Amino acid sequence: MDRDIRNFCIIAHIDHGKSTLADRLLEKTRTLRPSQMREQVLDNMELERERGITIKSHAIQMKHLARDGRSYRLNLIDTPGHVDFSYEVSRALAACEGALLVVDAAQGVEAQTVSNFLLARAAGLTVIPVVNKIDLPGARPEDVVLEVAELTDTDPEDALLVSAKAGWGVSEILEAVVAKVPPPGGDPSAPLQALIFDSEFNSYRGVLTYIRVFEGEIRPGVRIQLASTGKRFEVQEVGVLRLDLDPRPALRAGDVGYVVAGIKRLSDPKVGDTIVEAGSEAGPLAGYHPAKPMVFSSFFPSAEEDFARLQVAFEKLSLNDASLHFERESSDALGQGFRCGFLGLLHMEITKERLRREYEVEPIVTLPSVRHRVLGARGEVVEIDSPARFPDAKVAGVEEPFVRVDIVTPTSAIGSIMALIKDKRGVFRESRYLSENRVHLVTELPLSEILVDFNDRVKSVSQGYASFDYEIIGYRSADLVRLDVLLNGIRVDALSRIVAREKAYYQGRSLVQKLRETIPRHMFQVSIQAAVGSRIIAVEKLQALRKDVTAKCYGGDITRKRKLREKQRAGKARMRQFGKVVLPQEAFFEVLKSET
């Protein structure tokens, strides 16, 4: 056991000051030169800096000379705050013994504060409460300290009052980490066991794996083996993570660092896998689960010739985003594309934005859906992640994923929140008052109901003060149907969706109206229909473009004009029978954009 090492992370609700606090810790420990410092220094993606959020976990080692006169190595992992990146949070927790729980002194405990605390407690971490932004004009540190104490079941005096922006209280945080976070366990002489908590691809050196060593040691020249696949590699370099890679002779039990082992494919070292010494009898580390996508959407290129670029872009994106899943698919309406799995809507939005910025690909994205379970007549269970795969034949039942939703809201908005939950087919479970004016509501809802507009409506009915977080709790039976869109009787698979039977009519009515506004008029009439099975539930007619075929007829017998109009009418009937409705990608884009 190395008693001079402390491994800790920073967890918090989005925008409560994690990245700014990390900046101050780096400054206080003089880990970086003044010329290297900038705001959100660990957020190296353009999107992270632009949106002011952390998307990827970042690890860095600091050295701190404590008041007891000893020098400590502090391994910090800054984590995301948004619910869609909770997988990044779980990986950070698995590599640490302690966590700083940061809470905004003005906003107080939020939904993801609750969620991240529960994750840290379940992982057995020592949690240090930190109330940040005490210098804000609207700060209420005394009230927030009581909220945090209620949440964590600790003494209010244990909370640290700081301002990361002004640099107040940073020294006290470092001393608390040294005093309260336990040193890592492990025996350097034991067989090697190291957890892979992240990885990225380097064009020259192959895959860089970021690890936490739990037992033994790893050094250059050692043959290692991946516990899940048995693949073997020779270690070329190991080191610790500073702003850049810092090579070291070895990494021992308790260390956090990186390994270069000539791994050519990122798919080989899976996040959560265990590195052991080749031929060793040491087994994998337990209690770590890979990312499981819950939100699915199809991505198609805006032009057919861009398909190859889109494929290359997804392959490169997956190199440093282990939670992104994609597979090739084909659509009659949109051609070749990819069916992708995400952890949530923000994850999907960030991926779409990175495709645009980093790879200059403008994708068309279908309406997000969730994975359903279809029960067959013989008891078989089939999982489907696309409405197009929903069976046409009668099935014994359908199950959809449900989530536990934690909502933290002002008491004045409870009635509106409860009405929203009812509208979303939710069930209220319990409530707990965090303070006189703030309440924590626990509800259970179908995952599909919170995908599109739930966050906006929660913010709207609470004047922006409520927040929510969710956790998958399993599958439940539901009365669901596939809602199809037909253009002149032909189904458009890219617009199909799975909805609750009770909402099918309203969603079908809304969809055909939007399509009538966006589809360009043709030379023949277009019938836009919404259907459930063989039953048409909503219809709109897009009238044909009409040319005045009698414009050149000046006077003369009226029968001549009548014959011309009859000929035109017959031609339009033939066109409607044999002509194909052209649904431009701009129309898809407008309809899907309005939905998402």
The whole-chain average pLDDT of the chain stands at 83
Alpha-carbon distance values, 551 to 238, 523, 525, 548, 555 (Å)? 83, 18, 22, 6, 11
Mind listing the pLDDT tens digit for each residue in 514-527? 888 888 776 677 88
Residues in the chain: 596
Residue 566 CA neighbour count, 13 Å, CB half: 6
- Judged against a pLDDT cut of 60, whether residue 596 lies above it is answered with no
Sign of CA dihedral 25, 26, 29, 33: negative
Mind listing the pLDDT tens digit for each residue in 90-113? 767 888 999 999 999 999 998 888
Of residues 360, 283, 355, 289, the one with CA closest to residue 322? 289
Two structure tokens written together for 110: 């939020």
In terms of domains, do 12 and 119 share one? Answer: yes
β partners of residue 469: 406
Checking phi first, is residue 379 left (phi over 0); if not, alpha (psi -120 to 50) or beta? left
Q: Is residue 150 domain-resident?
A: yes
C-alpha span between 315 and 562 (Å, rounded): 62
C-alpha span between 91 and 72 (Å, rounded): 23
In terms of domains, do 175 and 37 share one? Answer: yes
We report the CATH number of the domain holding residue 495 as 3.30.70.2570
DSSP letters, 36-74, are G--TTTT--SHHHHHHT---S-EEEEEEEE-TTS-EEEE
In terms of domains, do 60 and 124 share one? Answer: yes
Q: Is residue 286 domain-resident?
A: no
- Judged against a pLDDT cut of 60, whether residue 593 lies above it is answered with no
Alpha-carbon distance values, 471 to 94, 150, 405, 462, 549 (Å)? 18, 21, 7, 22, 63
Q: Is residue 371 domain-resident?
A: no
Q: Is residue 378 domain-resident?
A: no
In terms of domains, do 53 and 176 share one? Answer: yes
More confident residue, 141 or 495: 141
We report the CATH number of the domain holding residue 200 as 2.40.30.10
Q: Is residue 32 domain-resident?
A: yes
In terms of domains, do 11 and 129 share one? Answer: yes
Mind listing the pLDDT tens digit for each residue in 315-327? 878 766 767 889 9
In terms of domains, do 117 and 221 share one? Answer: no
Contacts of 380 (CB under 8 A, 6+ apart): none
In terms of domains, do 471 and 486 share one? Answer: no
Report pLDDT for 48.
45
In terms of domains, do 125 and 235 share one? Answer: no
- Decide if 214 contacts 193 (C-beta within 8 A): yes
Two structure tokens written together for 330: 């084909």
- Judged against a pLDDT cut of 80, whether residue 594 lies above it is answered with no
- Decide if 375 contacts 396 (C-beta within 8 A): yes
In terms of domains, do 79 and 148 share one? Answer: yes
Over residues 345-372, the mean pLDDT reads: 84
In terms of domains, do 40 and 130 share one? Answer: yes
- Judged against a pLDDT cut of 90, whether residue 312 lies above it is answered with no
Over residues 202-207, the mean pLDDT reads: 82
- Decide if 302 contacts 363 (C-beta within 8 A): yes
C-alpha span between 101 and 131 (Å, rounded): 8
Res. 589 pLDDT band, cuts 50 70 90 = low
More confident residue, 302 or 552: 302
Q: Is residue 283 domain-resident?
A: no
Q: Is residue 377 domain-resident?
A: no
Mind listing the pLDDT tens digit for each residue in 31-63? 877 666 666 555 554 544 454 444 455 688 999
Two structure tokens written together for 48: 């992270």
We report the CATH number of the domain holding residue 351 as 3.30.70.870
More confident residue, 587 or 254: 254
Q: Is residue 129 domain-resident?
A: yes
- Judged against a pLDDT cut of 70, whether residue 81 lies above it is answered with no
**366, 399, 429 — which closes off a domain?**
366
Mind listing the pLDDT tens digit for each residue in 478-496? 999 999 988 888 888 878 8
Mind listing the pLDDT tens digit for each residue in 207-255? 888 899 999 999 999 999 998 888 999 999 999 988 778 899 999 999 9
Written in H, E and C, the secondary structure of 524-542 is CCEEEEEEECCEEEEEEEE
Residue 322 CA neighbour count, 13 Å, CB half: 27
**221, 242, 277 — which closes off a domain?**
277
Res. 144 pLDDT band, cuts 50 70 90 = very high
Total domains in the fold of the chain: 5
**125, 159, 180 — which closes off a domain?**
180
In terms of domains, do 349 and 334 share one? Answer: yes
In terms of domains, do 110 and 11 share one? Answer: yes
Sign of CA dihedral 34, 37, 39, 42: negative
Report pLDDT for 222.
94
We report the CATH number of the domain holding residue 463 as 3.30.70.240
Mind listing the pLDDT tens digit for each residue in 458-471? 988 998 888 888 88
Of residues 83, 103, 92, the one with CA closest to residue 8? 92
The boundaries of the domain holding residue 32 are: 5-180
Q: Which residue has the tokens 């494929």?
A: 311
